[in-house]
């Protein structure tokens, strides 16, 4: 792993009025690599990603250390965070139908990223946006630039989201279930595009997903979360060698082509898992 760009130590997050923390004692580091965070719904995966971008209004976020490159994130004002979001750290959301403005043309939304963070003319921003649309393998980028979100497919919409979030050449990208709404063949195409751009640009990537097979094949390392905690950390290639019973339960619950016809395993959750820290 190359130089560390993100350090998280003892991160705790509590939503207003909640009796317990949604995320408890999470610690990890990230270099210019692909880090997967997996777990069931409600385990705290997306909450961690949004906390890094300070996108949790009303939540209380504390950490012994929450550092991005040279920046101490908790100490930044909202005005300072506006210079970080989109420019140095960005987030690809899972469904473009809900992430793109339905009444604005696709290309204008992509170009807005460049206009917001760089001093340039609208023509320069348009040229940058068109080049980025071509980089994510969108054919006839000029035609797509002028279309509205409802006029493009789900796969193309996800490519537009990737173009929007990578246009400013950030140091860190958080991808929250970026292909969950796509069919298998389109999903592979989008992941290959994202992988190529991340590798070529030397970007740190956090991939938040339910899909163990996806992170196994796409990521370098994996964090397994349960009930707001990290219960296991291991290399993605070693996922089948996981030791924690929760991780092994998740793996056993996956259907396999050509596998047995017996009922899939059901997780036997244990109370002590709530207090463990990897």
- 1-79+206-278: which CATH topology? Rossmann fold (3.40.50)
Task: Give me the pLDDT at residue 1, please.
Answer: 45
Q: What is the pLDDT of residue 111?
A: 95
* Six-digit token string for 155: 């796969």
232: alpha, beta or left? (left if phi > 0; alpha if psi -120 to 50) = beta
Output the CA angle 82-170-216, nearest 5 degrees: 120
* pLDDT recorded at residue 197: 84
pLDDT per residue, tens digit, the chain (278 aa), is 468 999 999 999 999 888 889 999 999 999 999 999 999 888 999 999 999 999 998 899 999 999 999 999 999 999 999 999 989 999 988 777 788 999 999 999 999 999 999 999 999 999 999 999 999 888 899 999 999 999 998 888 888 998 999 899 899 999 998 877 677 777 788 888 888 888 888 899 999 998 888 888 889 999 999 999 999 999 999 999 999 988 888 888 777 776 667 776 777 777 777 775 54
- The domain spans of the chain are 1-79+206-278
Reading across the β-sheet that carries 89-92, which strands appear in turn? 89-92, 172-176, 204-209, 34-38, 221-226, 229-235
């Amino acid at each position: 792993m190359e130089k560390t760009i993100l350090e998280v130590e003892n991160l705790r997050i509590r939503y207003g009025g909640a009796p317990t923390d949604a995320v408890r004692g999470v610690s990890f580091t990230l270099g210019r690599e692909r880090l997967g965070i997996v777990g069931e719904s409600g385990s705290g995966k997306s909450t961690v990603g949004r906390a890094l971008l300070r996108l949790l209004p009303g939540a209380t976020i504390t950490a012994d250390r929450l550092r991005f490159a040279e920046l101490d994130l908790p100490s930044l004002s909202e005005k300072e965070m506006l210079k970080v979001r989109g420019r140095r750290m960005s987030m690809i959301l899972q469904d473009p139908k809900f992430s793109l403005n339905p009444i604005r043309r696709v290309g204008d939304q992509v170009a807005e990223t460049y206009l917001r963070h760089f001093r340039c003319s609208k023509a320069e921003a348009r040229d940058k946006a068109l080049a980025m649309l071509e980089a994510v393998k969108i054919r006839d980028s000029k035609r797509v630039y002028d279309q509205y979100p409802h006029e493009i497919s789900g796969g193309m919409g996800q490519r537009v989201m990737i173009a929007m979030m990578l246009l400013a050449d950030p140091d860190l990208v958080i991808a929250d279930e970026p292909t969950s709404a796509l069919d298998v063949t389109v999903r592979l195409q989008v992941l290959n595009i994202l992988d190529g751009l991340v590798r070529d640009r030397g970007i740190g990537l956090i991939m938040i997903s339910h899909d163990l097979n996806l992170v196994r094949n796409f990521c370098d390392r994996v964090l397994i979360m349960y009930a707001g905690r990290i219960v296991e950390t291991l290399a993605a290639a070693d996922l089948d060698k996981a030791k924690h019973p929760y991780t092994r339960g998740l793996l056993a619950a996956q259907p396999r082509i050509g596998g047995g016809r017996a009922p899939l395993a059901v997780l036997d959750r244990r109370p002590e898992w709530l207090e463990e820290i990897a």
